[in-house]
C-alpha cells in the first residue's frame, strides 16, 4: 500500500477524530462545509479531528454521522459491538428475490412475454399499491421479481423498433419501481446497477417522460452518495431539464410534472450546499409548473403535484437549517391533500427535522409518531428519523427519553 493511501477507519487503534477526518475526506467535504452543517466553527472541527477535543456527546456524534452520511455509527465511534444503522436501513426479506430477478437475464426462457398492455396495467397497479400501502416495501417487493423478468423478456422478444422502444420504456419503469424498493438497503452496488440500467432503458425508449423519471431517480442516488457527488447530481438533473424545456409549451401533464420534479431536485441539491437563493429560485420554478397541472393531478412516481409543493418548501427550509422557517412552512403545508402514504410519512419526517432545528424536540417526536402511523416502512428506513430518535433517547427529559425509546423499538433502532 502506498504511504499516502487513506487508512481504513475500522483499523485499530484510530481515535474518533481521525475517523471523522477520514470520512469527511472520503466524502469530499471541507472542514468549513462540515462546520456549517453542524453549527460549529472550522476551528472546532479541526480540534476534534486533531484529538485536542474529546469525542462529543451522542447528540453531536449523531449530527456528524448524518452530515457525513455514515452508514453505521461504528464508522465514527469504532465500537463494533452493536451495529446501529443510520442511512442504511435493514435488509428487507424480499431483497434477495428482487436481486436475483435483476441479476438474471431470460436468454433461454421459452415462454411468451406478456403483452405491453398487460405489463402497463401491472405497473399501474404496482405504483398505486406503493402509494396506498403502509408497508409498501412488502407489497412492491412481492411484485417486482415477476415484473422485472417479464419486462426483460418483452425487450428480448420485441420484433419491431417501435415494439422494442415501448418494451424498453416498461423495463425502465420496472427499474424505477425497483429503486424505490432498494434505496437505503444494504446493497449499494445493486442500487447503482438499477440506476444505470434504468437510464439506459429510458434512453432506448426515446420517451421524454420515461427519460425524465430515470434522471430524477439518478439525481437522488448521486446526491444521497454524499457531498462529493452533488456535481454529478446536478449534471444529470440540469441536462435533463434542458432536454425537456423545448417540449413544455404543449406538453402533457406527466411531462410537465416530471419537469417540475426535476426543478425541485435542483433546488434540493442547492439547499444541501447551503445556497439559499438558488434553492428557493428552483422551488419557485417548480411551483410555477405545478400551477399548470390540474388541481387533482398527482404524478404516479414522483408525487409531484400542486399539493406537494408545501411539503417541498419544508424540505428546502430544513436542508438550509432554517428552523423557524421550516416550522412556518410546515404550518402552511396541507398534508391531508397528499394521497401517497409514503410521501405523507416523508413529509412528517421533514417536519420533525424542522421542529428539532427550532428547539422543539417534543413536537419532533410527536410528528415522527404520525410518520410511523402513515407508513412504518418509510420511517424505518429513513436516516434522519433514526438520528432524531436516537438523539432524543439520550435526552435529559424522562418523558422525551421514554417516548423516543418506544419509537426506537418500533422502528428497529433499539431492541425491545
pLDDT for residue 11: 45
pLDDT at residue 272 tops 50: yes
Cell, residue 377? 416502512
pLDDT for residue 203: 98
CA distance 69 to 113: 41
CA distance 285 to 259: 10
CA distance 375 to 131: 10
pLDDT for residue 337: 81
CA distance 275 to 71: 26
Q: Which of 197-201, 333-337, 362-366 has the lowest mean pLDDT?
A: 333-337
Beta bridge partners of 5: none
pLDDT for residue 383: 85
pLDDT for residue 306: 94
For the chain, what is the largest distance between any 2 Cα atoms, rounded to a whole number of angstroms? 68
218-262 pLDDT per residue, tens: 999 999 888 889 999 999 999 999 999 999 999 999 999 999 999
Average pLDDT over every residue of 191-204:
97
- The more confident residue out of 228 and 295 is 295
pLDDT for residue 12: 47
Residues 6+ apart with CB under 8 A from 95: 141, 181, 182, 185, 187
pLDDT for residue 2: 43
pLDDT for residue 415: 53
379 in Cβ contact with 385 (< 8 Å):
yes
Break the chain down into helix, strand, coil percent, rounded to 5. 70, 0, 30
4-39 pLDDT per residue, tens: 444 454 444 578 888 888 888 887 888 988 888 888
CA distance 300 to 303: 6
pLDDT at residue 86 tops 50: yes
Domains of the chain, by residue range, sit at 16-77, 332-416
Fold of 16-77: 434 Repressor (Amino-terminal Domain) (1.10.260)
CA angle, corner 374, sides to 266 and 301, nearest 5? Answer: 40
Helix (H, G, I), strand (E, B) or coil at 85: strand
CA distance 304 to 295: 12
pLDDT for residue 38: 85
pLDDT for residue 83: 56
Average pLDDT over every residue of 67-96:
73
Average pLDDT over every residue of 47-56:
88
CA distance 166 to 336: 36
C-alpha torsion sign, points 134, 135, 136, 142: negative
Average pLDDT over every residue of 115-138:
94
- The more confident residue out of 147 and 81 is 147
CB-CB neighbours of 336 under 10 Å: 8
Percentage of the chain exceeding pLDDT 70: 93
The model's confidence at residue 269, banded by pLDDT at 50, 70 and 90, is: very high
Cell, residue 132? 396506498
In whole numbers, what is the pLDDT of the chain averaged over residues? 90
Alpha carbon of 259 to those of 287, 302, 333: distances in Å?
11, 11, 22
Flag whether the pTM goes above 0.85: no
pLDDT for residue 197: 97
Amino acid at each position: 500500500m502506498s504511504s499516502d493511501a487513506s487508512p481504513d477507519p475500522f483499523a485499530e487503534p484510530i481515535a474518533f477524530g481521525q475517523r471523522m477526518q477520514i470520512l469527511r475526506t472520503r466524502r469530499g467535504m471541507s472542514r468549513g462545509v462540515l462546520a456549517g452543517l453542524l453549527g460549529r466553527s472550522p476551528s472546532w472541527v479541526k480540534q476534534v479531528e486533531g484529538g485536542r477535543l474529546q469525542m462529543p456527546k451522542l447528540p453531536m456524534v449523531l449530527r456528524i454521522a448524518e452530515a457525513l452520511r455514515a452508514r453505521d455509527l461504528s464508522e465514527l465511534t469504532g465500537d463494533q459491538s452493536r451495529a446501529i444503522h443510520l442511512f442504511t436501513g435493514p435488509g428487507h426479506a424480499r431483497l434477495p428475490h428482487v436481486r436475483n430477478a435483476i441479476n438474471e437475464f431470460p436468454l433461454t426462457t421459452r415462454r411468451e412475454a406478456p403483452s405491453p398492455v398487460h405489463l402497463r396495467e401491472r405497473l399501474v397497479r404496482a405504483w398505486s399499491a406503493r402509494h396506498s400501502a403502509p408497508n409498501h416495501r412488502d407489497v412492491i417487493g412481492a411484485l417486482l421479481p415477476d415484473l422485472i423478468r417479464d419486462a426483460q423478456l418483452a425487450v428480448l422478444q420485441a420484433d419491431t423498433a417501435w415494439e422494442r422502444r415501448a418494451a424498453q420504456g416498461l423495463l425502465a419503469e420496472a427499474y424505477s419501481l425497483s429503486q424505490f424498493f432498494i434505496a437505503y438497503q444494504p446493497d449499494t452496488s445493486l442500487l447503482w446497477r438499477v440506476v444505470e440500467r434504468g437510464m439506459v432503458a429510458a434512453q432506448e425508449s426515446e420517451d421524454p417522460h420515461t427519460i425524465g423519471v430515470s434522471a430524477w431517480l439518478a439525481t437522488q442516488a448521486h446526491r444521497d452518495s454524499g457531498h462529493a457527488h452533488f456535481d454529478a447530481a446536478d449534471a444529470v438533473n440540469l441536462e435533463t431539464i434542458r432536454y425537456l424545456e423545448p417540449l413544455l409549451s404543449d406538453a402533457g401533464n406527466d411531462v410537465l410534472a416530471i419537469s417540475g420534479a426535476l426543478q425541485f431536485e435542483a433546488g434540493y441539491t442547492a439547499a444541501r450546499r447551503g445556497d439559499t437563493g438558488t434553492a428557493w429560485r428552483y422551488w419557485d420554478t417548480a411551483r410555477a409548473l405545478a400551477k399548470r397541472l390540474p388541481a387533482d393531478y398527482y404524478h404516479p412516481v414522483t408525487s409531484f403535484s400542486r399539493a406537494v409543493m408545501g411539503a417541498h418548501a419544508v424540505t428546502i427550509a430544513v436542508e438550509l437549517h432554517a428552523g423557524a422557517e421550516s416550522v412556518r412552512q410546515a404550518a402552511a403545508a396541507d398534508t391531508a391533500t397528499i394521497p401517497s402514504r409514503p410521501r405523507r410519512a416523508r413529509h412528517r419526517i421533514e417536519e420533525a427535522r424542522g421542529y428539532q432545528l427550532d428547539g422543539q424536540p417534543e413536537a419532533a417526536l410527536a410528528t415522527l409518531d404520525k410518520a410511523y402511523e402513515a407508513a412504518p416502512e418509510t420511517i424505518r428506513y429513513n436516516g434522519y428519523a433514526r438520528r432524531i430518535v436516537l438523539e432524543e433517547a439520550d435526552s435529559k427529559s424522562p418523558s422525551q427519553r421514554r417516548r423516543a425509546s418506544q419509537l426506537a423499538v418500533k422502528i428497529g433502532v433499539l431492541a425491545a
